[in-house]
Amino acid sequence: MSEHPLNSESCLDFVIELLEKRGVSMNDIAEIVMFLQSKYIPDITLDLCLDSVASVLKKREVQNALLTGIQLDILAEQKQLLPPLQAIIETDEPLYGIDEVLALAIVNLYGSIGFTNFGYVDKLKHGKLADLNDKRNGVHTFLDDLVGAVAAAASSRIAHRQKQQEECVES
């Protein structure tokens, strides 16, 4: 029997713990969300961003993507992957793209705005993403894209809710 029973609550706890072991806190992700939304919602709070990140992380698809990507990064650090995959992931080969494809499973949860947000933070490497992208800090080929995707999805979630609130006020 597995040490972690297969349910969303225990998976969420494990994913958060795993993120922290890999150097990523909920605050790190929320700060990226805040960066993405502060132009559009000037009075946005870190608490709102944290709440949105938590909501995104509760989704099983997100948990599965994070578990898969982080495991591949760990295996690459341990030099446990088959060649040439070992070299591809270890060096974050520019033409690999599977790390982005896995991240897109997360951003897709909140529509096309998620894709736009993801592309933007993936290119900029804002906040914690810059640390994760630095090859001297370990193998984070998947993790940098997955963290960017969670932030993009959480940002998109806030944008959708903001629009709904505006529409309720108008009617």
Model pTM score: 0.94
Tokens coding 45: 């709070």
Model confidence band, residue 1 (pLDDT cutoffs 50, 70, 90): very low
Tell me the average pLDDT of the chain.
94
- Identify the pLDDT of residue 27: 98
Q: Express each pLDDT in 79-136 by its tens digit.
A: 999 999 999 999 999 999 999 999 999 999 998 999 999 999 999 999 999 999 998 9
- The full set of domains in the chain, from first to last, is 8-170 (1.10.3760.10)
